[in-house]
Amino acid sequence: MKKPLIAGLSILCAAAVTPAIADISSMEPKIFSVKQDLPTAKSPFKCVDYAKIKSTATAAGDSMAFYEPENIDKKTPSFVVFDKKTWILSVCDKGQIVHGKIEHKDGEDFTVDVGNSILMDLNENGKTDLLVGFVQCAEGPCFGSFFLLEVDGGRLRKNWRIDTTVVDVISKSGQNFLKLTDQCFTHEFGSAVSWFSIAGFDKNGDLIQIPMKEIKKRFPDQVNEYIELAKQQDQNTTGLKNKNPARAYAEIFNLLARAYKGEGSKDLLPELTRISKPFSKSGGLPVHCDFKDVLKRLDSNGA
């Protein structure tokens, strides 16, 4: 099985969870309120069996997935384990374990990714959150959605569904935010260009996306990091011909970086047309995304 690209990620079937390949890499990351408990389940796993469970999961390969945060306290361990044979998701939170059943029908080609489950109180409401991925894997990368779950007493509650490629936690001014990175893939499922948005919790505890004009003001570190990545990509492809897709991707990366710096799509779209022109006879750049749409969404004036 291919390794999921999402770093971390219901009772929903895969078809309902996973957008089409052409959509996943071109759409804006979307956040949906779910508010649904996983059915409770029975499992022999216990928190005190931490070492045994970790060893078993490591030896089990694809049939079992295990996650533990860094600097784990072995006296009161916290970890996540998913058993694909039983489709039971187990979460040990500060020495207490809770089990939830993932509904799955025969023939549904999706798996559960707990590779970066986070296990922290993101919303600072006294309850532990975890990020779980529901993904489908083809010949190339894996696609799917993240679900942000909450440990609430003896239940696992799905609160939010996030459609994006990568989710990272960032902290600023005492608050936790989610950096959502969307990835544009080539027709061969290689990486072309990526871009990001940021989500945070409002005063009501709802997970919402931060407007782009606010991201540029409130998250300069993330913006500057993106700009530096664009510079590196430009340097790595200097000397390539304009008809080389890799060079075109680097130039588009630079356009997106300029958008993050504040340039409007009105000025950047003509340059996108110039970059894309050498590929017009072959049907355009071989990617699963619409860069015009991306530039328009990154335009602060339109956010």
Determine the Cα–Cα distance for residues 258 and 145; give it in Å rounded to an integer: 29
Per-residue pLDDT reduced to its tens digit, 170-223: 999 899 999 999 989 888 888 899 999 999 999 999 999 999 989 989 999 999
pTM, 2 dp: 0.86
Kindly state the DSSP code that residue 279 receives in the 8-state scheme.
G
Whose CA is closest to 159, among 19, 12, 10, 24?
A: 10
pLDDT value, residue 26:
42
Per-residue pLDDT reduced to its tens digit, 78-132: 999 999 999 999 999 988 999 999 987 776 677 888 988 889 999 999 999 999 9
Whose CA is closest to 273, among 251, 258, 297, 289?
A: 251
